[in-house]
Structure 1
Amino acid sequence: MRHRAEKPPACPRDPSDAKLNALQRGWLDVVEAVSNLGAVPLIVLLMAMVGFLLLGTQQGADLAHSLLEDGRGWRAPWVKRLMLVFTSLLLGGAAWFWSRRMVEDACGPRDDWRPRWLLAWFPRLLGALPFAFAAAAVMRSGEKLGAVAALMAALGVGFAGLLAARKSIEARIERRAPAFSRARRERIATLYVRASLALAGAMMLWISLAPVRLAQTLGAIGVLYMGVGLIIPVLAWVIHRGRRWRLPVMGFLIVMAVLWSWAGEWIGDNHAAGRRAFGGGWDRGPQAGGRPTFPQAFDAWWSAAPGPPGDPKPMIVVAAAGGASRAGYWAATVLGDLQDASGGRFAQSLFAISSVSGGSVGAAAFVSQLHDNPTAGGRFGAAVRETAGGDFLSPALAGLLFPDLAQRFLPTVPLGDGAVLALPDRAEALEKAFEEGWTDHCRHVACRRPRLWSEPLQALWSGPSRRVPLLFINGERQEDGRRVVTSRVIVDSTEFPDAVDFYAATQARDLAVSSAIHNGARFPVISPGGVLLDQQGRPNGRVLDGGYFENSGLTTAADIVHAALLRAKATNQPIRPIVIELNNDSDISPTSPAFYRAGRAPDWHALVTSPTDYFLSDLLGPLAGLASSRDGRATPVAINLARELGPDYFLIRLSNVCDGAKPSPRKAPMDWVLSEDAKKIIRDASNCQASNKAALAQVIAALPPR
């Protein structure tokens, strides 16, 4: 399998280098080694990325903590830990083998290596890094995983030691078994390369067809390790072949990726909103006909809503902020608690939920549970939380690292009317995870429609006559920054200024509940922008995560309140608007100006003062400013709405620490998968903080009696 370059080895030092001092010679050795090692810099970059994700983020610690959780069958802790060991071996073996192969190809015999210690030990250390990363992440995650961390560290040391002793072991075997010759070892290496490439292809096929179960069995860390562990052989093999053929194969692939992206205007891509690669997606979706206008929806709600005759009827509007699964689980927790504590009265006065990003998962879980089984056998809140608390990250990550990454280097084949022949994207994998989340919860709660989240969104308001609150799922259009709202009602500019109705942009093409959730929850990197295609396949821009516009959902909530007040006045249908803001940004101090609302005097000193960033400010400053602008847009809306409503505006905020409790290093991170420990922190926050308990009690007190 070894195909060495025909030119002299690159690593031996030029004789003229003898005039250099030791420092210069050492530096020159390192530079020449790196410049001639092919895929090794890419391998190092990939390993650094893995290390940062596990050790440099809150999400990494929480993912490691999930190894402790209880589960059954393929979700049992021992399965997750076994998968971690297996994928660590896979990634470590790939990093060692290919970096070692590149050293041998570039530098020839071991005696010619300069610096020898670096070229000999660097591949071994790369091979041990996955074990070290896993051990360190586990140690960061909690106090009960010391044995797992020690096991991973011991395996890493043992793996590196085995690699260091490999040559002497091979020599002993060859002395005892002469048949174990160098040619035989080369055949084994060739078999390993072919097996790696075959496994990469098999995983590509499996993830393309069924991304959820396999990915959730591996877990997010296992998916990350396996993905990178199979990307390395493919990239290294491509670079290896390019060096043999004297062709810039890697450069050619990069050019092709740019070319196919540029040609998307004519051939399309695999990111159409609601697309399914193997059918059942947007091009097969039903028409979303018969949607009511906002005045019609308000009139229908008012006629059915409870309230004493002649008195204004309480009309509740909820704004569920974004924040991945943390936001979804927080929204599900608070809404479920209100429904349980009120004996089911809360939903009767709930008119609409305006949601952004992950908050849309919790909002949709609440509305779906009301539609399918409003009592849930006496465990309504638990059922809603179970739907919103699934592992959505592993399938999305699998979709990103396998079919969606491969598709970037392949052309799509137009099939007419916007449909294309292409691999599935990571958006499809995430949406299938949403669908499985609902189906899984139906194993514990009686459901009339176990595949409800695979059905069209408008089905949530069909069937039984019970009233289901309206959903307003907020996204943003990439090209002009406008809100893209997906809802049961027609989103008209009269009630929602400068907003785009998703169904108007797609000519009333309906899409699955899971895809509708994703219209507002296209988390950066985890999900691509979804192309809005009409019935003829014409694009109308891309929908992004609603958090790009503003992350609270309050802009649309304010539009709902104002439109309802106008309609109530025009038709003599009096209402008492109540707004509940569900904020899950637990990393912000409770005294931050971001939480100023009516009834709280602003701290002008806090408004004026601010930390100042200096690190790469010329480069990163504009990006940081754009990211901060979403809060700058939401806070004035919240303040003005709170001033209008006075005591009928409620801020219910997630905090990692209960009132009076000792601060804990454990937090609920913003991620698409949460450990049970993070979920417990979120559940406790709704009833262990005085401000939240008071707000919940006041909302329930405002509800009409039965």
Structure 2
Amino acid sequence: MRAGSRPANVPLRQKPRGIVSHFWRRILDLTLVLWVVRVPLLSVLLGLALMAGVTQAQDVTLDVAMAGAPVGAAAGLSRAIFSLVAAVFLLWAMPVHYAARLLVETDNGLAVLVARRDASAGHRGIVGRDRLMAAMVREVPRLIGLAPFLAFAMGANAAIGNLPTLADRPAIAAAHHQLVLLVWAMLAAVPLFYLYCVLRGRLTRVRALAALDRVLGRWLKPVFGLLAIAPRRDDAAGQLHASGRLALLFYALLVVAVLVASPHWLAARLPLAFAVPLIFGGWVPILAYLSSVGRRFHVPILTGLFIAGAVGVYVFGDNHAVRTVTADEPAYRRTSLVQAVHLWMRANGCAEQPSSCPRPIIVAAAGGASRAGFFTASVIGHFLDYDRQKQAFGFTRADGSKVSRAARDDGRFSAAIQSVLDGQERQGKNVATHLFALSGVSGGSYGAAVVAAALSARTGTAPPCPTEAPAHWFGGAIHGWRDCLESMTADDFLTATFFGLAFHDQVQLFLRDRAALLEEAWEASFARHVAAAGANAGPGAARRLSEPFLGAPRDPEHWVPYLVLNGTSVETGQRIITTDILPTYAASSRCPSGGPTAECPIFTHAIDFHSLVRSDLDVRLSTAATNSARFPVISPPGSIYQVDTDVVDRIVDGGYFENFGAESALELAQAMVDVEPALAPFVLVVSNDPQSVLTEERTARGVVVPDAAEQSFLPEVVGPVDAIGAVRSGRGRLAVAHAAAWLDGRFGGRCAVNLVQIKVWPEDSAGHCPVGTATPEKIRQVSMSWWLSKPVQMNLHEQLEPTADRCNNRTAVEQVWTALATRSEACTGPTP
């Protein structure tokens, strides 16, 4: 060999340009592998993004973390935690790993690239396969399989930071500890799953298992060949064995079964946190198979299906029609405003002398999914429990400490107020008869519907609920109206709805959409409560939420408040109001809303829902609530059909227009006073958004002082979206201000307080009240979906308890009690 020569099998040192080229080639190799496995990869990326950034998803981990012990009990590894780990393993990690494994094993283009890289390695004197390429093909499916456990660990860890501050400290401490255990359980599953992936191939070489796999391979060979998931001819001994292919096939058939099965039946057996792996993993085998076939025949099947679906919905319509029921001329069953006011006065025994009537209460219930529904029900239930509130009572917290509440709602109403309310009760009247109407938006509409249905279902004064508390509610036993209404609105309504979103609405055809599934979940939960109430519920009362909205006749001896449920028109941007009051009346002199005097609209520039459907059609009470609660993703826009094929409008969440329901409450109060000037309506606003409260507290002399973040990611995109989201609460605060101004202008000379707002107060990251601080910290995120964890329920319940800081509703509660004991004449007479 000459000096300076090199052996033939020793490669030259690569030049810098060659290194860059080699590195870029490897990036392209990895990109191809990721593109081949794009379906399972997208599944885990969506899961990671959801658990990392969406409070509602993070909150579902609490359902499992707190399932192992009662609220406040010591933390411990529970069967629920192990079951969730197993569900993630079987329903999400295994399908995405197997699907990715199948895709890389059967993709011809990737096989050609692997062979080319192996040949290139041989030319460079490297014996065997290209190790880096082999590692990509081997490890990418494994890493994809690990991601679901990391997603749940991230979600549980984020849920710790979202935990609200509770007066019952042991309860929140136990929730914190159990979430920590869930995080560690998910992290411990990561190496175990990786070990399973490593040993999986070796397990199939065990003599008995290998024999079984060969038998399965022979039996299922025609099926695998027909479905194009057979091993490649040049790699018959591929790593994905017959058993793996069979598992994927079985899982795909399971998804098809979910499509046609009852989501409610499945939701009852697969609670929300366990449903998440199925939702994210369910479509993976089918979509991965379609992507594989598309690559084989160079046809964009998935893109084609998406386009075909969009075109099909455009041509043939979707399955998002607002559910209707045939009724006996329902539009004529509605009560005129004059008659509604007269019936309310009869219910309060003051029809002959209207000025002696109590102040009619109009509740404006803000939006916010189950949070709003629960809080609306809890606030109204608090005042319906007058008989309990006027007595002292005590309860025991999770740490065993005794808490005593003083008589008269812990001193929030006086002996004089008690004397007035006791006198009304002796005449057969109670707090329920003071409620004239409930104006709801979104989740507030659901809470209002449940309150109205429960009042309709009662036989005497007792709530239509069993004594024993349901498992999904935080309380131990049901003692009154507040407990009853809270337990009715605390159920899991999200699981079945998510199944509808993930499966039904992706196929549509003859299947019910997710809005209908949500309504059915409401109906079933209410029916369970009332059916177990026994003598406290009337005959057929369990079906009230599923009965026609206008079907129940008005009876002053069994008073139920009227409903004004606010949606938004997609076509015009105006309110679509579903109400059991006729939308027009004959004004006394000038129409307050500016319309003609003879047919004065109660609600300005609003669309009456029942005017959009045939005269022989009505909707269920649950559907009337959904008309107002169709917020993005969870519920689709509802198509309103005037005839079978004529869509006249589409209805979405009332919060798009105004999220407090205060504008409709004000207009109803104005029309009520026009009909009977001797009455002095009082508006109770039940709000739910802590961020809106903090914004309101930054208001000085009517001008809001904002405090924006210093940085904004993609402001051109995020800015308009955030503005649209903020407008809903901004218009709500404006409507509350207008209502307060008009009521004070009308009655403020004699009654100082005419509108009260009971709020869900914000908390900073340390759990302190940020109201009043010069530079308040970023507040804790709150979960708004159709499911509430027990700590969130407890936090909402505690909003009415007295606290030492500024974030409390003590004054507001006192003012409501005062209004309940005030006659209208005290506000409508001459100024003293």
TM-score (norm 1): 0.85
Per-residue CA deviation, residues 146-193 of structure 1 (Å, 9 max, x unaligned), is: 3333333222320112112334444x5269967756669643233223
In structure 1, how many angstroms separate the alpha carbons of the residues matched to 2:623 and 2:354? 41
Match of 1:149 in 2: 183
8 A Cα contact 1:80 1:218, kept in partner? no
In structure 2, how many angstroms separate the alpha carbons of the residues matched to 1:179 and 1:88? 23
| Cα distance, 1:216–1:178 mapped onto 2, change above 3 Å | closer
Match of 1:679 in 2: 793
Helix, strand or coil for the counterpart of 1:458? coil
Identity across the alignment (%): 27
Match of 1:700 in 2: 817
In structure 1, how many angstroms separate the alpha carbons of the residues matched to 2:342 and 2:45? 58
8 A Cα contact 1:30 1:115, kept in partner? no
Residue 248 of structure 2 is aligned to residue 193 of structure 1: yes
Residue 540 of structure 1, CA deviation: 1.2
In structure 1, how many angstroms separate the alpha carbons of the residues matched to 2:210 and 2:730? 73
Helix, strand or coil for the counterpart of 1:351? strand
Match of 1:544 in 2: 652
CA RMSD of superposed structures (Å):
3.2
Residue 738 of structure 2 is aligned to residue 640 of structure 1: yes
Match of 2:530 in 1: 442
Helix, strand or coil for the counterpart of 1:165? helix
8 A Cα contact 2:333 2:551, kept in partner? no
Residue 42 of structure 2 is aligned to residue 45 of structure 1: yes
Residue 138 of structure 2 is aligned to residue 120 of structure 1: yes
Residue 338 of structure 2 is aligned to residue 292 of structure 1: no
Structural mapping, 1:124-523, within 5 Å: 124-141=142-159, 142-170=176-204, 172-173=205-206, 186-206=241-261, 210-263=262-315, 267-274=316-323, 282=324, 284=326, 287-288=329-330, 289-306=332-349, 310-311=355-356, 313-341=358-386, 345-373=430-458, 374-376=461-463, 379-407=480-508, 422-442=510-530, 444-446=532-534, 447-448=537-538, 449-461=541-553, 465-492=557-584, 494-508=601-615, 509-523=617-631
| Cα distance, 1:237–1:564 mapped onto 2, change above 3 Å | same
In structure 2, how many angstroms separate the alpha carbons of the residues matched to 1:668 and 1:608? 20
Residue 675 of structure 1, CA deviation: 0.7
Helix, strand or coil for the counterpart of 1:651? strand
Residue 141 of structure 2 is aligned to residue 107 of structure 1: no
8 A Cα contact 1:593 1:607, kept in partner? no
In structure 2, how many angstroms separate the alpha carbons of the residues matched to 1:620 and 1:140? 23
In structure 1, how many angstroms separate the alpha carbons of the residues matched to 2:708 and 2:256? 51
Match of 1:651 in 2: 757
| Cα distance, 1:248–1:198 mapped onto 2, change above 3 Å | same
8 A Cα contact 2:61 2:273, kept in partner? yes
Helix, strand or coil for the counterpart of 1:471? strand
Residue 26 of structure 1, CA deviation: 2.8
8 A Cα contact 1:84 1:222, kept in partner? no
Match of 2:587 in 1: none
In structure 2, how many angstroms separate the alpha carbons of the residues matched to 1:615 and 1:668? 22
In structure 1, how many angstroms separate the alpha carbons of the residues matched to 2:326 and 2:431? 37
Match of 2:669 in 1: 561
| Cα distance, 1:524–1:179 mapped onto 2, change above 3 Å | closer
| Cα distance, 1:177–1:357 mapped onto 2, change above 3 Å | closer
TM-score (norm 2): 0.72
In structure 2, how many angstroms separate the alpha carbons of the residues matched to 1:228 and 1:39? 19
Residue 311 of structure 1, CA deviation: 3.7
| Cα distance, 1:163–1:246 mapped onto 2, change above 3 Å | same
Q: Which moved more, 1:637-646 or 1:112-121?
A: 112-121
Pick the aligned partner of 2:62 from 50, 62, 65: 65
Match of 2:827 in 1: none
Per-residue CA deviation, residues 389-427 of structure 1 (Å, 9 max, x unaligned), is: 1111111101111111122xxxx5xxxxxxxxx221111
Helix, strand or coil for the counterpart of 1:623? helix
**Which residue identity does 1:300 align to in structure 2?**
L
In structure 1, how many angstroms separate the alpha carbons of the residues matched to 2:550 and 2:307? 43
8 A Cα contact 1:286 1:456, kept in partner? no
Residue 443 of structure 1, CA deviation: 5.0
| Cα distance, 1:287–1:312 mapped onto 2, change above 3 Å | closer
**Which residue identity does 1:496 align to in structure 2?**
F
Residue 627 of structure 1, CA deviation: 2.0
In structure 1, how many angstroms separate the alpha carbons of the residues matched to 2:155 and 2:203? 32
8 A Cα contact 1:667 1:678, kept in partner? no
Helix, strand or coil for the counterpart of 2:178? coil
In structure 1, how many angstroms separate the alpha carbons of the residues matched to 2:210 and 2:43? 38
8 A Cα contact 1:519 1:545, kept in partner? yes
**Which residue identity does 2:194 align to in structure 1?**
A
In structure 2, how many angstroms separate the alpha carbons of the residues matched to 1:527 and 1:176? 47
| Cα distance, 1:614–1:173 mapped onto 2, change above 3 Å | same
In structure 2, how many angstroms separate the alpha carbons of the residues matched to 1:342 and 1:178? 74
Instruction: Number of aligned residue pairs: give it.
Output: 650
Q: Which moved more, 1:187-196 or 1:76-85?
A: 76-85
8 A Cα contact 1:594 1:635, kept in partner? no
**Which residue identity does 1:273 align to in structure 2?**
V
| Cα distance, 1:461–1:375 mapped onto 2, change above 3 Å | farther
Q: Which runs of 5+ in 1 are unaligned?
A: 1-16, 275-281, 413-421
In structure 2, how many angstroms separate the alpha carbons of the residues matched to 1:298 and 1:435? 30
In structure 1, how many angstroms separate the alpha carbons of the residues matched to 2:363 and 2:569? 23
Residue 512 of structure 1, CA deviation: 1.2
